[in-house]
Amino acid sequence: MLIRPLLVALPLTFCACFAETEGVDRERESMSKKDEDRDKDGFTVAEGDCNDDDERAHPGQKLSFAKPHKLASGELSFDFDCDGTTTRDDEIAVCLGAASPEGESCSCAPGWSGEAPDCGKSGTYSTATACGFTPTEARTQACR
């Protein structure tokens, strides 16, 4: 008769202890996740790394990328410098001056022909540095 209440109380005690330990472990785990630099890019989540599973993404990133990084939520992101915005490599090809028989009065800055495509999308990119012949290539928009 005395054993029965004891058997009922025992699992409840174990359960309560286990749940408490699990909570502490989870808290400790999330603390260490914020403090460790898993992708070895020099930044922890606490220091502003917006994706600690991709070394391309970190504060101060100056490079742009044509392939997004995947956030823990599963969402794809082109914000590689972790500033909360996505910046496209937006420059459109611009030629200044006019073509002359000598070809010296006109120069071009390489860039997109027409409208710049969205991040990860392809477009036509002009690599021209002088007027007249306009070499182009297919390129994918890189962002950060």
The closest residue (CB) to Ca ion is: 79
Toward Ca ion, which CB reaches closer, 85 or 100? 85
Enumerate residues 20-49 that contact Ca ion by CB under 5 A: 39, 41, 49
Side-chain-side CA neighbours of residue 91 (13 Å): 9
Toward Ca ion, which CB reaches closer, 39 or 99? 39
Rounded CA separation 78/85 (Å): 9
Toward Ca ion, which CB reaches closer, 49 or 128? 49
Q: 34 to each of 37, 41, 60, 135, how far by Cα in Å?
A: 8, 14, 18, 48
Residues that bind Ca ion (CB under 5 A): 39, 41, 49, 51, 57-58, 79, 81, 83, 85
